[in-house]
Structure 1
């Protein structure tokens, strides 16, 4: 990779943090709060134990632990850029919680290109929490195009984003409350205007901007679906 999008691209720093036991911190902390928030939100959106779910950018399984506990055995899947985070999440969180029998290790896959084909199924639900807040919005388009063959027609793909108002200065840093995060249109953490989010939606996909969902750092929620 010729350009760092975020600190996740600092491989040596990430490996050092994981080796020191900071696999929760490297993905942003708020372990219990954000894991529970995602589970509660998805249940409100109709997620049932019998559904299959792909967690895009699952990291060290902050949401993976409560989702594995809730879903039927084998129904939680995750992808992440960094295999070190997947290993730490599985060994230090899933196994430690006694959930290894519910989550086969092969349900986790390291990929830089949002490749879901390795799983060989079509998913009922997908979520990408605090993924596209760390990379340019063009990568969201790449993601939707890549995952489409493995997402059921009409299935929801939830993504979070930092919203920049349409009338905001296009270059000024933008503070968010709660959380105190300051975002930018061109560097990590990234924000995006609703119009740019719509423009990132590929042909054949629809977008519903849900907005507020009580995220502790003011990330907003959007839902994409493809027509099949």
Structure 2
């Protein structure tokens, strides 16, 4: 259980095991939860929907193997920093994104390697779903530090409030003592408390089971389902919180 709460060790172990069992592309997709291309497009469109401009500076914390950065490269001409604790993920992300002007860095813990007040947006997609609450709060503190005034923080999360997300909890409770990465659910009162103490404004909290992301063309998930016009964030749909630095 102790190793499970050490997200650096548990994710590097996951990446190592996946590389032994699958080819490179499949391992890198499974390492970030699968549906690599489809979810990457959804993440990109969500950020654009809520104000990401082509010349903005985005910091992608827990960027993984490039799920977001790959489709984002077609849109974002501004700066990008992707950070992750798994070196193999970072190497793959750098390769498939093919943007020499963008930065990808391996971190050893909860830190964002950037100066204060630099970024327009910081995103955490499927990151807080695998961290202890104290770790998530610490990351939000770091995100606030590196944001410009009026910058935004995006994070996806799982919550018991959304019935569709129960299947995620039910699939993991029997593996509670195995060394897989944690699956953590979050409550909205926790988000409210964190925002209050960090002096951040809650701009929006979006239910995970409601299609809310405009999409440019039909998208297909690995389970065979196809979405058109608007979509949830993933086949089950994680909830989304947007915080603003005022």
Q: What TM-score, normalized by structure 1, do the two folds share?
A: 0.79
The answer on whether the counterparts of 1:32 and 1:62 sit within 8 Å (CA) in structure 2 is yes
1:170 is aligned to none
The answer on whether the counterparts of 1:52 and 1:76 sit within 8 Å (CA) in structure 2 is yes
1:68 is aligned to 73
The answer on whether the counterparts of 1:114 and 1:143 sit within 8 Å (CA) in structure 2 is yes
The answer on whether the counterparts of 2:58 and 2:121 sit within 8 Å (CA) in structure 1 is yes
Q: Secondary structure at the match of 1:147?
A: helix
1:204 is aligned to 199
The answer on whether the counterparts of 1:68 and 1:76 sit within 8 Å (CA) in structure 2 is no
Counterpart selection for 2:182 from 161, 184, 188: 188
Tell me, yes or no, if structure 1 residue 26 matches structure 2 residue 34. Answer: no
Write out aligned runs for 1:1-228 (5 A).
2-5=2-5, 9-10=9-10, 11-18=12-19, 20-21=23-24, 22-72=27-77, 75-91=79-95, 93-94=96-97, 99-101=98-100, 103-104=101-102, 107-111=103-107, 112-117=109-114, 122-165=118-161, 176=165, 180-182=167-169, 188-201=182-195, 202-207=197-202, 208-212=204-208, 213=212, 214-215=232-233, 216-227=235-246
Residue 222 of structure 1: CA displacement? Answer: 0.2
Equivalent pairs counted in the alignment come to 208
The answer on whether the counterparts of 1:164 and 1:194 sit within 8 Å (CA) in structure 2 is no
The answer on whether the counterparts of 2:14 and 2:31 sit within 8 Å (CA) in structure 1 is no
Query: 1:7–1:80: structure 2 CA closer, same or farther, 3 Å change rule?
Result: closer
Q: Secondary structure at the match of 2:240?
A: strand
RMSD of equivalent CA atoms: 2.8
Tell me, which stretches of 5 or more residues in structure 1 are unaligned?
A: 167-173
The answer on whether the counterparts of 2:117 and 2:145 sit within 8 Å (CA) in structure 1 is no
- Structure with more contact order per residue of length (Cα contacts < 8 Å, sep ≥ 6): 2
Residue 200 of structure 1: CA displacement? Answer: 2.6
Residue 52 of structure 1: CA displacement? Answer: 0.9
1:169 is aligned to none
Residue 18 of structure 1: CA displacement? Answer: 3.8
